[in-house]
Amino acid sequence: MKPTKILFVLIIIVLMAGCQNTENLTNTNQKEDNIPDYHPSSEDIVDMHGDIENIDRFKKFINNFDKGQKDSIRVIRYTTEGDPVLRDLEYDGDAIISTSDIRRDRYGKGSINTATCESIEVVETAERTDYLLDDCENIADHTLLVIWK
């Protein structure tokens, strides 16, 4: 009878271990790294699932780039889950330095990435206009902004 009781106790322990709460064990980059919530400034270009704030400021940046004039902006794109992804763009007259901060994306890699790009490509279709970073080294996401018509 003793081996049966031991086996029964082991099964109960395995079941209890398998049923523990894992809700807080998911990727919580923001809490682990003490990254504060981000609140956009009045100067930021904010893309909340196609609803874009400060589009005129973005177009001014594109215009300054076309003219070779130095400029810098921050573009905030929100993920499907509502997490902000920050991208700082600094144009020095020669190249664009793109710094992406994805530390607040719960399902992202939780990192800051910097890339140097030579140009911005504008792709127009009947439904939308895509603004893409072009001629970049070391960049995963080329999309700056998508403007739906």
Specify the 3-state DSSP secondary structure of 65: helix
pTM given for the model = 0.76
Residue extents of the structural domains in the chain? 43-118
Specify the 3-state DSSP secondary structure of 26: coil
- Give me the pLDDT at residue 12, please: 64
DSSP annotation of 37 reads P
**pLDDT tier for residue 107 given thresholds of 50, 70 and 90:** confident
Segment among 16-20, 74-78, 139-143 with least mean pLDDT: 16-20
Residue 13: phi and psi, rounded to 5, are: -65, -45
Q: Is the dihedral of CA 52, 146, 105, 114 positive or negative?
A: negative
Segment among 18-22, 24-28, 40-44, 116-120 with least mean pLDDT: 24-28
Specify the 3-state DSSP secondary structure of 131: strand
pLDDT in tens, 71-94: 999 999 999 999 999 999 999 999
Residue 67: phi and psi, rounded to 5, are: -85, -5
Average pLDDT taken over every residue of the chain: 86
